[in-house]
Structure 1
Amino acid sequence: MEKCKNLWSAFYRHKVVQFLISQWFFITLAVFIVLANFFPNFARHGGTIRAEYSIGYGAVAAIFLQSGLSMKTRKLCYNLGNWRAHTSVLTISFLVTSSIMFGLCCAIQKANDPAIDSWVLMGLIVTATCPTTVASNVVMTQKAGGNDLLCLCEVFIGNVLGAFVTPALVQMYTSMGLFEFGNPAAGTSISHLYADVMKQIGLSVFIPLFVGQVLQNVFPKQVSWVLTTFKLNKVGSFCLILIMWSSFSTAFYQRAFRSVSHACIIFVVFFNLGLYLFYTVICYIWARPWFLQKIFHQKPREGSSTFYNLCYRIFQPFYCSKKDSIAIMFCGAAKTAALGVSLVSSQYGSDSPHLGKLLVPLVLYQSEQVMTANLLVPFLKRWASDECEDEDTSKDQDLESGGLSSRQDRPDSHHDSTDSSSEIK
């Protein structure tokens, strides 16, 4: 018996085994994508397990229930008032990303490359008009030590507005010009689309979050014990894999990857990857514009002019903390597939002959953004570590005292010296 334990211990400590364990997310995701390919009907929307409900609602609800159990109510309300961050994320998510995508797709369309399908380009434009993803950015922001409360606020606001903004942007980009053929002219379906989005956001985001907040405030000691004992922070990553499994199953069932050439799919893969990284860089520059630190390099003093005092109060808070910047980077560049499939099918019809081609960019973008974000997590976590040290210490104290910490009664005030004025007081 002792020999078996030693063999198992040696096997477990082996470098290869440790590497495979550290990469469990990608390995599990690959397995589920293979399953989606061979058994697409099982986890597709409307399939065997009715994934639009069991996964689209259940898995997403599990992520936000865990968020509600672990997030302080006071801080959540505080971040809802961060209008500067909301403005930044919504502007990038809807206007900046879609306009860049539209310009690039117009250039590609004018090149008349027969290997690039025009409806796939239309799918890229529709993908860029979609709101931020529902679950993956919250999970990645938590893993990177960013402001997950702010991220959660962006998810709710962005997806509610997406029911109105996404169809309007698609109409704007397809009203005339090179992509007029892709105009869905779906004004009659917008009310139905809005009802679907509100139902999904309400049942999978708002209610689980509300329940988590109630349980956290009524039973703080028990909630703290459950969070630490069952390691619920790991649940989000697995639920994220289930969401991607459902999206791939739907795409495979629709024969999305068979309706276009291999060259076109390879193009979309690398195009999406480059765009996601480019959008992330834009989000970083937008969240931490270097010129603000040059202009407002010191706080107003007694001898400072009224104009400087006024400009400092208005513009300096747009230079976000590192934790807020992580949330903005993950939210601004991400696009939803959980709601995106509904947005596309509601506008073009579930029986459209081009639906598969329209879904190819969306499904690929979701998987690539999750994998790329997962690779960026350790770098961003290291970058923001100086802002996370004090909060981690406070969280440990909260757990030891049953969650009854004085920090529950005030917003997070830890920032480095250069970012101390970046949040709303």
Structure 2
Amino acid sequence: MKPRITVYDYLRKHWLLVGILTCIFFAGIYPELGSKNGPLHTEYSVKYGAVTVIFLISGISLKTESIYETFQQHNLHFFIQGFTFIFIPIFTQIFVHLLNYFGVNQWVLRGLVTVACMPPPVSSAVILTRAADGNETAAIFNSVLGSFLGVVITPLLLLINLGFTTLVPLLATIIQLVTTVLIPLFLGQIIRNFTGFRGHTLPLNTIGQCALLFVIYTTFCDTFETPEHHLSAADVLASVFSVLLMQIILLGLSHAIAQCFQKHFTIQDVITIIFCSTHKSLTLGIPILRILFHGYSHLSQISLPLLIYHPTQIILGGLIVTQLKDWVQLHRSKRPPV
């Protein structure tokens, strides 16, 4: 007879998803608190606070030898970057062509194409990979690599797919990545190797996930605060449906294709692929859209898919984290003892 699962047990197992939904609820009630112009000063508390904490914890937790091993996983890096910058833009062009038959707003469709050209984010994909027991080191490496590549590749993709291009602030992007990702990682490795601290006395994983929840909360505050000028209910519904369907298909395809290369990828690698190859950056995307379409009366329709895509990828990620973690545990239990 199977033991009964109580509400407490369920909430404890799926607490990250519950936390995400709670963040959305409170952001909807009072978005002014966590918005860009709010009292929390998210331009500093998120960028140089929560994100820095996430990668400092990663630096403390990661084994140095695993970092060296990750650098050698060329097949994994090539797959993730190829899926992000080649497969998704091609897939989106086909997807948009099909949506065109259903009368979806042309500017919303352009917004979807713009989303497809964006690089991966540097926080959500990493912390979700960590929460699902995936290859965290590879997630960090590919998120940072994708952000650097996006400085060059994203404008080229926009030129090819839309006929628009823009100069991404190269120096500012590099400084932000170094200060919020690389320096915290380096400090974490110094703490680990020179002090012997491994974080066993502190719930580092829980602290990192709480930092992610703060990022999620502020993201939704900005989403709810964004004015929806010139947006009809049909545009909003079409964008939500299109983005949700697009992400579900991409998650399924990334998993299915990665599974075809079982000889090259472990289950932890597949989890990294699922998150890192399908997530898109809002931080770089919004400034690019502001530059590209400044003065356009249809800027709100173009921006809408990206504004929806970012929180949606977090919600879908939270929904599948527990299942992926159980998948890893099941695989480990089937391994023959060494």
Partner of 1:369: 313
Deviation at 1:173, TM superposition (A): 0.7
Partner of 2:78: 87
Partner of 2:195: 219
Partner of 1:246: 218
Deviation at 1:375, TM superposition (A): 2.1
Deviation at 1:97, TM superposition (A): 0.9
Counterparts of residues 258-407 of structure 1 (less than 5 Å) = 259-289=230-260, 319-349=264-294, 353-385=297-329, 388=332
Q: Note the alpha carbon deviations across 1:281-337, whole angstroms, 9 max, x for none.
A: 3222332326xx7xxxxxxxxxxxxxxxxxxxxxx5xx3111111111111111122
User: Quick one: which of 110, 131, 134 aligns to 2:122?
Assistant: 134
CA distance in 2, matches of 1:100, 1:65: 35
SS at match of 2:69: helix
CA distance in 2, matches of 1:103, 1:57: 38
CA distance in 1, matches of 2:287, 2:72: 30
SS at match of 2:200: helix
SS at match of 1:100: helix
Q: Note the alpha carbon deviations across 1:23-72, whole angstroms, 9 max, x for none.
A: 44344434433444454444333544332222133211111111000001
Q: Note the alpha carbon deviations across 1:203-223, whole angstroms, 9 max, x for none.
A: 111111111011100111xx2
Higher relative contact order (CA 8 A, sep 6+): 2
User: Quick one: which of 33, 40, 50 aligns to 1:49?
Assistant: 40
Partners of 1:88 and 1:286 within 8 A in 2:
no
Partner of 1:62: 53
Counterparts of residues 6-45 of structure 1 (less than 5 Å) = 15-45=6-36
Partner of 1:146: 134
Pick closer, same or farther for the CA change 1:198–1:35 going to 2, 3 Å: same
Name the amino acid aligned to 1:63: I
Deviation at 1:14, TM superposition (A): 9.8
Unaligned runs of 5+ in 1: 1-12, 176-182, 294-315, 391-414, 417-425
The answer to whether 1:122 aligns with 2:98 is no
Deviation at 1:112, TM superposition (A): 6.7
The answer to whether 1:236 aligns with 2:208 is yes
Partners of 2:59 and 2:184 within 8 A in 1:
yes
SS at match of 1:286: helix
Pick closer, same or farther for the CA change 1:338–1:389 going to 2, 3 Å: farther
CA distance in 2, matches of 1:62, 1:388: 29
Unaligned runs of 5+ in 2: none
CA distance in 1, matches of 2:27, 2:328: 37
Q: Which one has the largest radius of gyration?
A: 1
Partner of 2:149: 161
CA distance in 2, matches of 1:131, 1:273: 19
State TM-score, norm by structure 1: 0.71
Q: How many residues align?
A: 334
Pick closer, same or farther for the CA change 1:289–1:18 going to 2, 3 Å: closer
Partners of 2:17 and 2:318 within 8 A in 1:
no
Q: Percent identity?
A: 26
Pick closer, same or farther for the CA change 1:147–1:23 going to 2, 3 Å: closer
CA distance in 1, matches of 2:5, 2:133: 29
User: Quick one: which of 165, 173, 179 aligns to 1:197?
Assistant: 173
Deviation at 1:18, TM superposition (A): 4.5
Partners of 2:53 and 2:211 within 8 A in 1:
yes
Deviation at 1:145, TM superposition (A): 1.6
Name the amino acid aligned to 2:219: S
RMSD: 2.8
Q: Note the alpha carbon deviations across 1:95-121, whole angstroms, 9 max, x for none.
A: 111111122223333x372xx332222
Partners of 1:244 and 1:367 within 8 A in 2:
yes
Q: Note the alpha carbon deviations across 1:364-401, whole angstroms, 9 max, x for none.
A: 222222222222222222322266569xxxxxxxxxxx
